[in-house]
Amino acid sequence: MFDDPQLLSAQVGVVLDVLGTFVFAVSGGLVAARARLDVFGFVVLALAAGCAGGVVRDLLIGDTPPAAITDWRYAAACVVAGLGVFALGQQSVRVTDGLRVVDAVGLGIFAVAGTVKSLEAGLGDAASIGLGVLTAIGGGIVRDLLSGTVPVVLRADIYAVAAAAGAFALVLAIHLGQPMWLAAIGGAAVTTTLRLAAIHFAWQAPRQRETSP
Amino acid sequence: MFDDPQLLSAQVGVVLDVLGTFVFAVSGGLVAARARLDVFGFVVLALAAGCAGGVVRDLLIGDTPPAAITDWRYAAACVVAGLGVFALGQQSVRVTDGLRVVDAVGLGIFAVAGTVKSLEAGLGDAASIGLGVLTAIGGGIVRDLLSGTVPVVLRADIYAVAAAAGAFALVLAIHLGQPMWLAAIGGAAVTTTLRLAAIHFAWQAPRQRETSP
Amino acid sequence: MFDDPQLLSAQVGVVLDVLGTFVFAVSGGLVAARARLDVFGFVVLALAAGCAGGVVRDLLIGDTPPAAITDWRYAAACVVAGLGVFALGQQSVRVTDGLRVVDAVGLGIFAVAGTVKSLEAGLGDAASIGLGVLTAIGGGIVRDLLSGTVPVVLRADIYAVAAAAGAFALVLAIHLGQPMWLAAIGGAAVTTTLRLAAIHFAWQAPRQRETSP
């Protein structure tokens, strides 16, 4: 069905990108609900959370203007997500763990989407993994900064590391000869599973030992 | 007088850009006055508020280095604005609504300046309106983030929407065959009037309905 | 020993860049220690503080992908710095003035590194000084924003001005025919000395006079 690996890779990239954008935009809407913003605040935070990671990645690759600006599907996904969460009413904040789960899924999708796009742009493995992580954490950072809270990447114990693990798994799978779509699904699953496990089991990363005065 | 429409368009763009930079830089100075910063803090916030929106727009268009870096008039407008507000003394903060009015005027100028420059760069109508909005809200976001407050775009009821309305009016006027300078003035007027009306009449955007538990 | 001035200039630039990255990354680790983050938080803040200034400069010059992404030495310097501060234990925060001294040294190195790279990219003197200042203050701004505090550039009395003075001294020395390496050391010394003197003597920049009501 997909005979051209180049084309397939590009298609996987765009589908992942729009999907990750939508999921992170939902997280932006949930933060807006918690902060009791008006309907425009929902849309602004959805756009920021959904598009910031991809825009930063495209800027760093030098792929300007970024896809999130020129391709209407990104903004549309964000507006739909923001208005959708708004329409749910205040019950949306009652889903206590909803934000964290949505954020974990978006983290996985964007980690692989960022890595795939960077590889396509001709960057090396390490740089592509780095840009995948940046794509994955960028939206959440901007969302949290705008709403006046310390970004989740600094508050959570296993966050950027989960994104890096999924991006690494993707690159490894490609080197082992797996098709792009399988490597992408696998990588996203690694990140999201690791992040959800860290939340569920309350994994603690090491902290500095106290030293006697 | 202006026979070359290309040249006129570029001239309108630069004049708007420097004017918007100055107006937003004044808003940066007023925030510095409120936060009781020293004279360098006035200049830093004036530069950030005045230049951030245009720099982000130029990065997204791929027009590097940004005009705000290479053209001394932008930095000069910011320094003059910052030092000017500083020289006014603490009475500058007593002008209670001053910041909001200045901010509304800057919003209008930057919404059309960003849209004009994006159109000139060959972007489509929708993308140009989007970049116009980003140019308009970018300076205020950076100004507010640096000074440790939630950005006005999330606090105010009608803000990004006012910028979008003016950018849309500009594009519409051009499609209706109006000259660039008239379309620009009209678009800026739409944004600023809408924003000031929203402040004056305390228009409320819809908020999430409470749902029974 | 160095016969090719072009090559020497590039070498001075990279060495300064990696050195400044390491020093600012240490400051990121110290902020993480103060905020009692986990080990990954140390690495994230070290990467942000160490790389943000240079990444922003490269984006503004149009040199994408930025060196901090494609050259593993930048990320390695940050990870080593972050883990190193982590390993020191909580005593690292007890060194009360440590953060400010480290920050002042990084400010000096990055002010000249940013100016040198901008001059190499063909920008004019004023634009290069501006980008040098932005490179120098960028890492600290991102570090402080992420950790939820008002950036040091707004809190400190002599900060951006110290960076500008060193960048100006560098450009002046080059115009006076000094070799690049000497101009770079001199410029960095001007910035760091000025900043440390401002801290030590508690120099106060002028503040707005109170006006009678």
pLDDT tens string C185-195: 999 999 999 99
Q: Please state the rounded mean pLDDT for residues B122-133.
A: 93
User: Quick one: average pLDDT of B47-73?
Assistant: 91
Give the separation between CA C213 and CA C207, rounded to whole angstroms. Answer: 18
Mean pLDDT of B134-147: 92
Question: What pLDDT band is residue B6 in, cutting at 50, 70 and 90?
Answer: low
Task: Give CB contacts under 8 A, 24+ apart, made by A208-212.
Answer: A208/C33, A208/C36, A208/C86, A208/C88, A208/C89, A208/C90, A208/C92, A209/C89, A209/C90, A210/C89, A210/C90, A211/C89, A211/C90, A211/C91
What is the average pLDDT across B101-118? 91
The predicted structure's pLDDT at residue A1: 40
* Residue B57 tokens, joined: 């727009």
Chain A: residues touching B (Cβ < 8 Å)? 33, 35-41, 43-45, 55, 59, 62, 64-66, 69-70, 72, 75, 86, 89-92, 94, 145-148
Looking at the predicted structure, is the pLDDT value of residue C26 above 60?
Answer: yes
First to last CA, chain A: 68
Indicate if the pLDDT at residue B212 is higher than 50: no
Check CB contact under 8 Å for A75 and B206: no
| A40 vs B150, B205, B210: nearest CB | B205
- pLDDT for residue C113 is more than 50: yes
Q: Determine the pLDDT at residue B16.
A: 78
Q: How many CB atoms lie within 10 A of CB B204?
A: 10
Query: What is each CA distance from C110 to A6, A143, C85, in whole angstroms?
Result: 41, 29, 21
What pLDDT does A2 receive?
Answer: 43
Tens digit of each residue's pLDDT (9 = 90 or more) over A136-178 = 999 999 999 999 888 988 887 789 999 999 999 999 999 999 9
3-state helix, strand, coil in chain B (%, to 5): 75, 0, 25
Looking at the partner chain, which of A154, A159, A204 has a beta carbon nearest the beta carbon of C147? A154
Angle between helices A98-120 and A125-146 (to 10 degrees): 140
- Angstroms from A190 CA to nearest CA on chain B: 32
Instruction: Answer whether B12's CB lies under 8 Å from B2's CB.
Output: no
> Nearest CA to B118 among B134, B139, B103?
B134
> Is the per-residue pLDDT at A50 higher than 70?
yes
**Which residues from C are below 8 Å from A when comparing CB atoms?**
33, 35-41, 43-45, 55, 59, 62, 64-66, 69-70, 72, 75, 86, 88-92, 94, 145-148
List phi, psi (to 5°) of A158: -120, 100
Query: Which pLDDT tens digit goes with each residue over B146-175?
Result: 998 889 888 887 899 999 999 999 999 999
Q: Among A38, A59, A94, whose Cβ lies nearest the Cβ of B205?
A: A38
SS3 category, B143: helix
C36 pLDDT above the threshold of 50: yes
Per-residue pLDDT, A36: 86
pLDDT for position C181: 87
Q: Give B54 or A212, the one with higher predicted confidence.
A: B54
ipTM of the complex: 0.85
Which residues in chain B are closer than 8 Å to C210, comparing Cβ atoms?
A: 89-90
- Nearest CA to C141 out of B47, A200, B147 is that of B147
Given a cut of 60, whether residue A191 has pLDDT beyond it is yes
Tell me if A194 sits within 8 A of C40, measured CB to CB: no
pLDDT value, residue C96: 52
Residue B40, token pair as written in the block: 């360098």
Record: contact B211-A145, CB cut-off 8 A: no
Mean predicted confidence (pLDDT) in C78-106: 82
Nearest by CB to residue C90, choosing from A127, A154, A210, is: A210
Least confident range of A5-9, A190-194, A208-212, C145-149 = A5-9
Report the percentage of chain B scoring pLDDT > 70.
90
pLDDT above 60 (res B96): no
Which 8-state DSSP code applies to residue C207? B
Query: How many inter-chain contacts (A to C, CB under 8 Å) are there?
Result: 77
Summarize the confidence of residues B37-62 as an average pLDDT.
Answer: 92
Q: Which of A180-194, B82-96, B112-126, B135-149 has the lowest mean pLDDT?
A: B82-96
Residue of B nearest to C212 (CA): B91
The minimum CA-CA distance between B87 and chain A, rounded to whole Å, is: 31
Report the residue of B31, B40, B42 to disrupt the C interface, i.e. the one with the largest count of C CBs within 10 Å.
B40
Question: How far does B144 lie from chain A, in Å, by closest CA?
Answer: 9
Per-residue model confidence (pLDDT) at position C166? 97
The mean-pLDDT minimum among A38-42, A91-95, B127-131, B184-188 falls in A91-95
User: Considering only alpha carbons, which residue of chain A is nearest residue B162?
Assistant: A40
User: How many angstroms separate the first and last alpha carbons of chain B?
Assistant: 68
The two structure tokens encoding residue A72: 């209407």
C2: pLDDT strictly greater than 80: no
In chain A, helix, strand, coil percent, each to 5?
Answer: 75, 0, 25
Mean pLDDT across the stretch A182-194? 95
If one compares A13 and B34, the residue with the highest pLDDT of the two is B34
For residue B144, give the nearest of B35, B21, B43, B18 by alpha carbon: B35
